[in-house]
C-alpha cells in the first residue's frame, strides 16, 4: 500500500496560501497513493479547514484526517466550542468533503486498519531536570512563554483528563477491530512516543516540548502488537524512529512560507511518501528536521486577518 501523509499546514484565512494548497495537491498526485493522510492542524477556522479538505480531496485514493489542537480552537464568531468541533463539526466537514475523520471510527482495508486520534499531552514529555513546577505546565505559562491552547481550547477537561479520555477511546477502537485485522496504522496529531520529540537544551523550547504528547498513549499503541506504523504531526520537526516493530514518523509542514512563492520544493519535502510492504515500511526520500528552517514565519497571533 502506498501512503502520502502530511500535517500542520496552518492555512491562513486570507487566501494567501492557495498556491501552497495547490502544490501540496500536486505533490500528492505525483505520489499516486492508495491512502492520503492529513494528521491535523489545517486551520483554527472550520470554514478554512472545510475548504482546504475540499481542495485536497483526491479521487482514487482514500482520504483520512485527524484533527489537531489548532483545529479545535473555539470560534468566537460562530460560537463553536472545542468539544463540539472535535466531536461533531470536524467529522461532518470531513464527510462533506470526502475525508474520513478517523477519531470517529477506524477505516479497514482487508487485514489492515487505520485508527486515529487527536492524542493529547499530559506533561509526561517534560524534562524533570529543569525543575519547572507542575503548576506552570497546568497554567501553560513559564517566565512569559505561553502555550496558546490555554487561550483557545475551551473544554473543561484538564490536560491529564483529556489525555485519559482520548486514550480510553483509542483502547476501545483497537479492541473492536476484530481478529481479521493483522496490521494497524496509528494516525494522531500529538506524538505517541517521547523519542520523537526534539529537545534543544534551551527555553522556552524545552518547556513547550512537554505539550507534544503523552507516554501513556505510546504504551497503548506499542502494547497492541499489531501496529506497524505511526504517523503524527504537531511538533513542526520531522523525525523518524523505530519503536520495536513500529516505524514512527512525524510529517509536519509548519508556519514557514517561501518569499518567492515557489512552493513546489516545500510541498515535496512536506508530503511523506510511504510504502507499506507486507514485511516492512519504507520511506521514500523522507526529509527530517524543520523543513521551514530559514523561511519567513508568521506567528500564531498573526493568523487572524
Residue boundaries of the structural domains of the chain: 2-302
**Average pLDDT of 128-154?**
97
* Cβ contact 65:57 at 8 Å: no
Concatenated DSSP letters of 185-219: EEEESSBS-GGG----SSTTHHHHGGGSB-HHHHH
Buried/exposed 69-97: b ≥16 CB within 10 Å, e otherwise:
bbbbbbbeeeebbbbbbbeebbbebbeeb
* pLDDT value at residue 299: 56
Q: Which fold has domain 2-302?
A: Purple Acid Phosphatase; chain A, domain 2 (3.60.21)
Q: How far apart, in whole angstroms, are the C-alpha atoms of residue 54 and residue 21?
A: 11
* Cβ contact 97:68 at 8 Å: no
Whether pLDDT at 266 is above 50 = yes
The 10s digit of each residue's pLDDT in 46-93 is 999 999 999 999 999 999 999 999 999 999 988 999 999 999 999 999
* Cβ contact 63:70 at 8 Å: no
Whether pLDDT at 301 is above 60 = no
Q: State the pLDDT confidence band at 305, using cuts at 50, 70 and 90.
A: very low
What percent of the chain clears pLDDT 70, i.e. is strictly above it? 97
Q: How far apart, in whole angstroms, are the C-alpha atoms of residue 27 and residue 38?
A: 13
What percent of the chain clears pLDDT 90, i.e. is strictly above it? 93
Lowest pLDDT segment from 2-11, 198-207, 221-230, 259-268: 259-268
* Cβ contact 167:190 at 8 Å: no
* pLDDT value at residue 261: 77
* pLDDT value at residue 303: 42
Q: Is 62 helix (H, G, I), strand (E, B) or coil?
A: strand
Whether pLDDT at 116 is above 90 = yes
* Cβ contact 230:191 at 8 Å: no
Q: How far apart, in whole angstroms, are the C-alpha atoms of residue 94 and residue 66?
A: 10
Concatenated DSSP letters of 107-172: EEETTEEEEEE-----STTS-GGG---HHHHHHTEETTEE-THHHH---S--HHHHHHHHHHHHHH
To the nearest whole number, what is the mean pLDDT of the chain?
Answer: 95
Q: Which residues contact 161 (CB under 8 A, 6 or more apart)?
A: none
* pLDDT value at residue 262: 84
The 10s digit of each residue's pLDDT in 162-212 is 999 999 999 999 999 989 999 999 999 999 999 999 999 999 999 999 999
Q: How far apart, in whole angstroms, are the C-alpha atoms of residue 265 and residue 296?
A: 15
The 10s digit of each residue's pLDDT in 214-256 is 999 999 999 999 999 999 999 999 999 999 999 999 999 999 9
* Cβ contact 132:126 at 8 Å: yes
Q: State the pLDDT confidence band at 259, using cuts at 50, 70 and 90.
A: confident
Q: How far apart, in whole angstroms, are the C-alpha atoms of residue 97 and residue 100?
A: 9
Q: Which residue has the cell 515535496?
A: 268
For residue 24, which of 290, 265, 305 has the smallest C-alpha distance?
A: 265
Pairing label, strands 145-146, 141-142: antiparallel
**Average pLDDT of 261-270?**
93
**Average pLDDT of 130-140?**
97
**Three-state DSSP string of 235-301:** CCCECEEEECCEEEEECECCCECCCCCCCHHHHHHHCEEEEECCCCEEEECCCCECCCCCCCECCHH
Amino acid at each position: 500500500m502506498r501512503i502520502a501523509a502530511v500535517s500542520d499546514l496552518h492555512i491562513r484565512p486570507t487566501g494567501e496560501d492557495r498556491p501552497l494548497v495547490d502544490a501540496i495537491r500536486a505533490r500528492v498526485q505525483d505520489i499516486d497513493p492508495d491512502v492520503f493522510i492529513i494528521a491535523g492542524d489545517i486551520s483554527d477556522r472550520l470554514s478554512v479547514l472545510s475548504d482546504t479538505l475540499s481542495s485536497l480531496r483526491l479521487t482514487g485514493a482514500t482520504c483520512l484526517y485527524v484533527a489537531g489542537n489548532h483545529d479545535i480552537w473555539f470560534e468566537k464568531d460562530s460560537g463553536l466550542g472545542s468539544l463540539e468541533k472535535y466531536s461533531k463539526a470536524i467529522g461532518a466537514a470531513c464527510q462533506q468533503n470526502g475525508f474520513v475523520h478517523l477519531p470517529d471510527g477506524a477505516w479497514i482495508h482487508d487485514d489492515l486498519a487505520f485508527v486515529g486520534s487527536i492524542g493529547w499531552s499530559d506533561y509526561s514529555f517534560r524534562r524533570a531536570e529543569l525543575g519547572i513546577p507542575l503548576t506552570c505546565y497546568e497554567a501553560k505559562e513559564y517566565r512569559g512563554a505561553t502555550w496558546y491552547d490555554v487561550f483557545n481550547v475551551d473544554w473543561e477537561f484538564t490536560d491529564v483528563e483529556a489525555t485519559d479520555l482520548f486514550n480510553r477511546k483509542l483502547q476501545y477502537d483497537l479492541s473492536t477491530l476484530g481478529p481479521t485485522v493483522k496490521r494497524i496504522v496509528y494516525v494522531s496529531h500529538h506524538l505517541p512516543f517521547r523519542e520523537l520529540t526534539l529537545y534543544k537544551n534551551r527555553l522556552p523550547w524545552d518547556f513547550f516540548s512537554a505539550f507534544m504528547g503523552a507516554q501513556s498513549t505510546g504504551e497503548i499503541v506499542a502494547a497492541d502488537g499489531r501496529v506497524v506504523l505511526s504517523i503524527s504531526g504537531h511538533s513542526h520537526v520531522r523525525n523518524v524512529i523505530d519503536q520495536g516493530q513500529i516505524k514512527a514518523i512525524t510529517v509536519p509542514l509548519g508556519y514557514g512560507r517561501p518569499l518567492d512563492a515557489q512552493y513546489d520544493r516545500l510541498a515535496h519535502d512536506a508530503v511523506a511518501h510511504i510504502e507499506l510492504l507486507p514485511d516492512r515500511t519504507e520511506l521514500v526520500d523522507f526529509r527530517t528536521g524543520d523543513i521551514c528552517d530559514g523561511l519567513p514565519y508568521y506567528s500564531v497571533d498573526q493568523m487572524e486577518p
